[in-house]
Structure 1
Amino acid sequence: MRRFAPGATIFDTETDASRILFISSGWVVSSRTMSNGTRIVTDFSLHGDVLSSASALMSQESVQAISPVTCYEFAGQLSGQGSEGASQLPFIMTVEMMKRHARMVERLASIGRRDAFGRTGHLLLELAVRAGNASRPELDGFECPLKQAEIGDALGLSTVHVNRVLKDMRVAGLLSFRNGIVEFLNRRKLMEIVDFEPSYLSVPDASIGHADR
Structure 2
Amino acid sequence: MGREQSSATPKGPRRHTPPAEATRNLRLAADFHAAYPPELTGDGVLVPGPFGLKLERYALQGGRPPRSIRSLMAHKRTFEPGVQVMQQGDAGGVAYIIEQGWTFSSSVLRNGSRQILDVQVPGDVAGLQSLPVPTAANDVTAITKVHAFEIQLDAVMDAISSDADLAAFIFWLAARQNDVASVRIIDIGRRTSVERVAHFILELATRLRLAGIGTDSGFPCPLTQYLLGDALGLTSVHVNRVLRDLRTSGLAHHQRGWISLLNASELSAVAGFSSAYLRGTGTGCTDAM
Q: Same fold (TM over 0.5)?
A: yes
Aligned-CA RMSD value: 2.5
How many residues align? The count is 203
- The TM-score normalised by the length of structure 1 is 0.85
Kindly indicate whether the alpha-carbon contact (under 8 Å) linking 2:87 and 2:136 is maintained by their aligned counterparts in 1. Answer: no
Q: List runs of 5+ in structure 2 lacking aligned partners.
A: 1-75, 283-289
Given the alignment of the two structures, is residue 107 of structure 1 paired with residue 213 of structure 2, yes or no?
A: no
Within the candidate set 150, 156, 159, 2:227 is matched to: 150
Kindly indicate whether the alpha-carbon contact (under 8 Å) linking 2:86 and 2:136 is maintained by their aligned counterparts in 1. Answer: no
> Residues 29 and 79 of structure 1: is their aligned pair in 2 closer, same or farther, counting only changes over 3 Å?
closer
Given the alignment of the two structures, is residue 24 of structure 1 paired with residue 99 of structure 2, yes or no?
A: yes
Question: SS state of the match for residue 74, structure 1?
Answer: strand
Runs of 4 or more off by more than 3 Å in structure 1? Answer: 56-60, 82-89
Kindly indicate whether the alpha-carbon contact (under 8 Å) linking 1:134 and 1:141 is maintained by their aligned counterparts in 2. Answer: no
1:146 & 1:186 partners in 2: Cα distance? 21
1:155 & 1:190 partners in 2: Cα distance? 17
CA deviations on 1:103-151 (whole Å, 9 max, x unpaired) are 111111122221100000000110011112556x6x6111000010111
Given the alignment of the two structures, is residue 123 of structure 1 paired with residue 200 of structure 2, yes or no?
A: yes
| Structure 2 equivalent of residue 179 of structure 1 | 256
| Cα distance, 1:54 vs structure 2 | 5.7
Equivalent residue letter for 1:111: I
Given the alignment of the two structures, is residue 40 of structure 1 paired with residue 115 of structure 2, yes or no?
A: yes
CA deviations on 1:52-86 (whole Å, 9 max, x unpaired) are 37628767311011011111223663764348897
Instruction: Give % identity.
Output: 32
Equivalent residue letter for 1:151: L
Of 125-134 and 76-85, deviating more is 76-85
- The TM-score normalised by the length of structure 2 is 0.64
2:101 & 2:84 partners in 1: Cα distance? 14
Of 10-19 and 34-43, deviating more is 10-19
CA deviations on 1:136-179 (whole Å, 9 max, x unpaired) are x6x61110000101111111100000000000000000000000
Kindly indicate whether the alpha-carbon contact (under 8 Å) linking 1:102 and 1:200 is maintained by their aligned counterparts in 2. Answer: yes
